[in-house]
């Protein structure tokens, strides 16, 4: 029976390690968990295409379709499958193709701005904010945008100074107060505490067995 869905928000600044945290958590929880990414919910801005991203402020809440994300989370909460949009960061466009996502018992929502939205906060069962120094976040964003999104280092630096940092200070950092947990970087104590909390909330024999094996290994995650 599709019930008892647990939804966790994982937020933090761009390059904070939140995505690594979310993915590692989902991996440890096994087949009954998946990560839903904020990055899939950007609105189409292909009319602003400029080859280097500076014309689109991806770090402002208005750039995202949070109404659709909330609709999808409510569907998952009700035990329904969803179709996730796909976004092309090279052209700032939402693709016609979607991703079929079957219902899972644990949904981990990853995104820098998810804690700024009351419509999402009322759906989350818990939320964690991954706090990381600015210099580390910038270095990670630089590497990601150049390697994965075809950006130039100069463009990434300019965007960070003009958009990413101001939006972080205006929206992301203040949203930390909405989190039920705050982790200093990828903190192992916070990581295992969340695993324990999720296991208590979600009754699943396979997840229980997986959690027991996790407690035994206690291997430090390095990021």
pLDDT of 10 strictly over 70: yes
Number of folded domains that form the chain: 1
pLDDT, tens digit, for every residue of 62-117? 999 999 999 999 999 999 999 999 998 778 889 999 999 999 999 999 999 999 99
**Residues spanned by the domain of 33:** 6-211
Note the pLDDT of residue 204.
55
Structural domain contains residue 217: no
Burial class (CB in 10 A: 0-12, 13-18, 19+), 52: middle
pLDDT, tens digit, for every residue of 59-76? 899 999 999 999 999 999
Pairing of strands 106-110, 126-131: unpaired
C-alpha neighbours within 13 Å on the C-beta side of residue 135: 0
H or E element: which one contains 9?
strand 6-12
Note the pLDDT of residue 1.
57
Structural domain contains residue 157: yes
Structural domain contains residue 139: yes
Structural domain contains residue 216: no
Structural domain contains residue 220: no
Structural domain contains residue 221: no
Structure tokens at 209: 């067995």
Structural domain contains residue 168: yes
Residue 123 main-chain phi, psi, to 5 deg:
-95, -35
Of residues 93 and 9, more confidence is placed in 9
Structural domain contains residue 166: yes
Q: Are 41 and 85 in contact (CB under 8 A)?
A: yes
Would you tell me the crossing angle of helices 205-217 and 188-201 to the nearest 10 degrees? 160
Note the pLDDT of residue 149.
77
CATH number of the domain encompassing residue 81: 3.40.50.300
């Amino acid at each position: 029976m599709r019930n008892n869905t647990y939804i966790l928000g994982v937020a933090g600044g761009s390059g904070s390690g939140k995505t690594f945290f979310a993915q590692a958590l989902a991996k440890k929880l096994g087949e009954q968990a998946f990560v839903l990414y904020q990055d899939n919910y950007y609105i189409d801005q292909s009319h602003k295409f400029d080859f280097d991203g500076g014309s689109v402020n991806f770090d402002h809440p208005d750039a995202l379709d949070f109404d659709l994300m909330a609709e999808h989370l409510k569907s998952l909460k009700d035990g329904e499958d969803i179709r996730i949009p796909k976004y092309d960061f090279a052209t700032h466009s939402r693709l016609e193709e979607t991703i079929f996502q079957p219902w899972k018992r644990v949904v981990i929502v990853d995104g820098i701005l998810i804690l700024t939205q009351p419509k999402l906060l009322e759906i989350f069962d818990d939320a964690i904010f991954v706090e990381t120094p600015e210099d580390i976040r910038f270095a990670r964003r630089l590497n990601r945008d150049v390697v994965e999104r075809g950006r130039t280092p100069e463009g990434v630096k300019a965007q960070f100074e003009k958009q990413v940092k101001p939006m972080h200070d205006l929206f992301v950092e203040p949203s930390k107060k909405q989190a039920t947990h705050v982790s200093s970087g990828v903190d192992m104590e916070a990581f295992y505490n969340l695993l324990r909390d999720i296991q208590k909330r979600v009754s699943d024999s396979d997840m229980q067995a997986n959690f027991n094996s996790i407690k035994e290994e206690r291997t430090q995650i390095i990021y």
